[in-house]
Chains A and B, each alone.
Chain A
Amino acid sequence: MFQYLIRRILWAGVLFLAVTMVTYVIFFLVPANPARLAAGQSATPERVREVEKFLGVDQPVYIQYVKFLKRLVLEGSLGQSFVTRQSVNEEIFRAAPVTASLVFGAMILVLLVAIPLGIFSALRPRSLLDRAAMTYVLIGISLPSFWIGLVLAYVVGFKLGLTPIAGYCEVISVPEASICGGVVDWAYRLVLPWSTLAIVVAGTYVRFVRAEVMETMNQDYVRTARAKGAPERQVMSSHILRNAMLPVVTMIGMDIGLLLGGSIFIEVVFGLPGLGGTALESIGRFDLPTLQGVVIFGALAIIVLTLIVDLLYAWIDPRIRLT
């Protein structure tokens, strides 16, 4: 177990190196000069060279990369933004909770919808409810998230006036100038983004839970449970669900990791100042340190969540031994 953790952490390190390196290479393949952008349109060539030197982009890529690594490992610092000269760490710490609020809230909604719906569909295949659920699945999978988001914002937010159309409220450290704050405001602002993300993601999960439950229902040990005289409710909860949920747990872990790295469309549609927006902005401004920060955070999220999934997996299924 301990050995397993060590090995996983080492692998995470390798993965981390690969991800940052790829980001660096891609960034410098783009034929644009961040210094020129930072220096302004009317800057003289000398001024641009000064800025280049200041930002460190005058040096070869590998030297920049090594410097970046050194700063990250020794000081735990992601550097400063090319554009705003703000600390990237601070930027990430500010944006990450926004994205996390969106993703975790939406995933809870997804599970609340998908697990019961998937089970009922599996129990009554080809029934009206099953067909309705499968139609919804198709819609959820097919429609792009920004479209659903815009429609919801228009209908629920604008026409019906039930929810705010866009914006975000801090829960804990509310800035003084802010017009809102606290859990209620926070959740109120997030209702639409949560719903949008949940509608998009839940489709796949309904389908998945349905398939897993149907497969598990036909297992011999489920028949054994019935032969023991177990009532259907107990057969479902104790014998079917626990086995059927294994692959679902994996998928949830992967999806949360992926979404944390950027739910760009939904953040943009609802004006949420999360990581997706930060990444988008930094690409537009050729702001390498900020972009690198978002990428590292996303990679870290995936690494940590897959580790959690593996540990959970071993806990749910005793056949899996972490060695």
Chain B
Amino acid sequence: MTPLLEVRDLRTQFRTDDGLLQAVDGVSFSVEPGQVLGIVGESGCGKSVTCLTIMGLNEKRGTTSTGEVLFRGEDLLKASPKRLRAIRGDEIAMIFQDPMTSLNPVHKVGTQLMEAVSLHRDVSRKEARARALELLEAVRIPRADRRIDDYPHQFSGGMRQRVMIAMALINSPDVLIADEPTTALDVTTQAQILDLLKQLQKDFGTAIIMITHDLGVVAETCDDVVVMYSAKVVEHAPVDEIFERPQHPYTWGLMGSLPRLDIVVDRLQQIPGQPPSLLNPPSGCRFHPRCPYTMTVCKQTQPALAGVPGDVFHEQACHLDQTTKDREAAKLLAAVAGVPA
């Protein structure tokens, strides 16, 4: 099966006052129809920029992108602005992290939804409104027929994110990019939004790229996971594999730092140090200054993304030998399984 969306060796650079910033450095992945792909990593690791580049939404001045973004075989990096506009919001849609600021405060919610329809479909106002109402009901906004004429400030954060989801799905896109859709919401609302996304994903058959820093979200929603660190992919695997046999020390760090209520933990683990500057990244493996397993080779040579023996879909970029990796992964899983509370 040909992938719906395929990203090949994507590199995005920003020109800043302090020099060139390599925000995305050789990222590749692909998304099949109806699949949910998670992109995980710390703030500033290039997750969002990757997706903004796919959408062609980066600031044009001072930004260069190379590589390929193939959507049904068409390279979006080479597409005209007009063609990109036709794709955005119709075939590929996006929802953002902060629902409080992502809706225009001076327009009614219904108007903003209708705008999304009429930009891509030749429909009357009445039809656009009917579609908007249909979607507001689909994202379970109570009394949608009345709320459609409300302004964004009359909605709560969770409700606004529902509106954003409705707006993204209104033209039944093939791909939905969700950039930390639950980060700005409180925990109970997070769960509701995730459930809603999962349900809609089933109903609409939309492929989703879920950007998050929360492995819990990944475990709950994704089929495949890409772990990014400092603009690069360090591990890429099906979700079960990542949780059963994580191969990269950074992934271990992420898993070790998950807060747990069901087991006794003295202290939450953390990955020591700060994410490296993308203006001047470390030599060799970019994780080496924070990695507890650093060897000499790590400081000199950048590890390439390579297959993991025994699993064709699993890729990782680490110099450690397989025995050590499997041993450490097993140790971590035992610790995470832990003593029940």
Contact = CB atoms under 8 A, between A and B. Distances in A.
A228 B119 contact: yes
A318 interface: yes
A243 interface: yes
A231 interface: yes
B101 interface: yes
A318 B119 contact: no
A238 B118 CA distance: 14
A227 B57 contact: yes
Given A227-B88, A228-B89, A239 B119 contact: no
B43 to A, nearest CB: 17
A316 interface: yes
Interface string B67-110: 00000000000000000011111100110101001111111100
B120 interface: yes
A112 interface: no
B165 interface: no
B89 A319 contact: no
Contacts of B106: 242-243, 316-318
Interface string B156-189: 0000000010010000000000000000000000
Contacts of A239: 104, 107
B210 interface: no
Interface stretch (A15-23, A61-69, A217-225): A217-225
Contact of A220 (B88, B90, B101, B153): B101
Given A221-B101, A223-B57, A317-B105, A229 B151 contact: no
B104 A227 contact: no
B167 A228 contact: yes
B118 to A, nearest CB: 10
| Most A-side CB within 10 Å, residue of B90, B103, B105, B153 | B105
A238 B96 CA distance: 20
A230 interface: yes
Contact of A223 (B96, B115, B151, B167): B96
- Interface size on B, as a range, is 20 to 34
Given A318-B108, A318-B153, 17 more contacts: A220-B98, A221-B103, A223-B57, A223-B96, A224-B96, A224-B102, A224-B167, A226-B57, A227-B55, A227-B94, A228-B116, A229-B85, A229-B89, A229-B90, A230-B119, A242-B106, A243-B106
Contacts of B89: 227-230
Given A228-B88, A228-B119, A229-B119, A220 B105 contact: no
B15 to A, nearest CB: 13
A319 B104 contact: no
20 contacts: A220-B98, A223-B102, A224-B96, A224-B102, A226-B57, A227-B55, A227-B88, A228-B88, A228-B93, A229-B88, A229-B89, A229-B90, A229-B116, A229-B119, A230-B85, A238-B107, A239-B104, A239-B107, A242-B106, A319-B153
A219 B86 CA distance: 22
